[in-house]
Structure 1
Amino acid sequence: MRKVDHDSRREEVAEAAARLIAEKGLEALTTRALAKSLGCSIGVLSHYFSSKEEIVIAAFRWADQRIDLRMQEAIAHGNPSLDHFFPVIKAGLPLDEESDLEWRVRLNLHTFALTHSDSLRAEREKDQQFHELMEGMIRSLQQQGQLRSDLSAEDITNVAFDLVIGAAKNLVLRPFAEREARAEYLFRLIEQLRPPA
């Protein structure tokens, strides 16, 4: 019972940290500000996390798990086809307030990770998992004749992965009203991966 409470409280701290990062930037994430937002003491935070970097990694994982959940739901709701791939890509983009928050956390943490080895390792592991998930889907689509087979699954995955991350960064800079239309080029590019009729 206490384990569940401990894990639940860690998740609560991670979410609060993620929201602080998304709203005010990584520099605003101090133990004092985090404790204040949670209505607890700094000492209570140290019971759950031993360092600021641990809190940052937890915030990163919190945001990534939410992005992953949306993408997994998109994968689970549909037949394996190129049309099914569109909602998976869409689920990974910051097109609403929830996904915007998650991407703001991720983008803040990209910079942090460059100078913090544990954060960099966590980010690389997460990217590798996502990459493997996407490559598996692409290989499956190729085997079913839903996707061009004259391009390697690895190359398609690398391009799609880089495009989604780059598009997400650019979309966060735009007003919500412009984001859907701005992201349309991704789907036009994916459409070109259909095999010739």
Structure 2
Amino acid sequence: MFSVDIILAFITASTLLAFAPGPDNIFVLTQSAMNGPRAGILITLGLCTGLIVHTLAVAAGVAAIFQVSAMAFTALKVVGAAYLLYLAWGAFRADAQAIDTENGRRLSNAAFYRRGIIMNITNPKVAIFFLAFLPQFTHPETANVSLQVFALGAVFMLVSLLCFSLIAMLSGALSQLLRRSPEAQTRLNRLAGGVFAILAVKLVTSER
């Protein structure tokens, strides 16, 4: 279906994109630093699950709707920005002892996983990016385009999983040090809240 050259080029491009500063990897980095590498990896799994949705959308042509419909694009990005602001508010309010809690309850694995999914699927730019990026590596004359999109989406998810997990492990190591310093924890909470707020503003003001 794909030549070795095409696959290598796609993996290289996907790796560079995974490490380039963006909402998803910054989200993994801050959450891992706040809550440990386990949280970061669970969020990464959620983000990759969201990529499945975007891959299906591209294969089905649904992502094109966000490219041509200003209302659909705006509605989804407002939802995503609202969720980021919700996380920012929680981070600003959190004290040093509640670094990985929500409403007084310790966050479960499922809660971190859900954060990743919501973060990814409420960003319409991911769908548009997939719509613009994946087809560049397809060849209609060699195989069904939808199957090629599924295959490329799977490779992109694997690359993202590996790259984001590495980010989670490296930044998550900081959480052990931060837990020994309540003051550092509080500052990190405020910093994370600021990052979430900035990402929300960036998302809601983004253009197609």
- Regarding TM over 0.5, the answer is no
TM-score by length of 2: 0.30
Q: Which has the higher contact order (CA 8 A, sep 6+)?
A: 2
> Which structure would you say has the larger Rg?
1
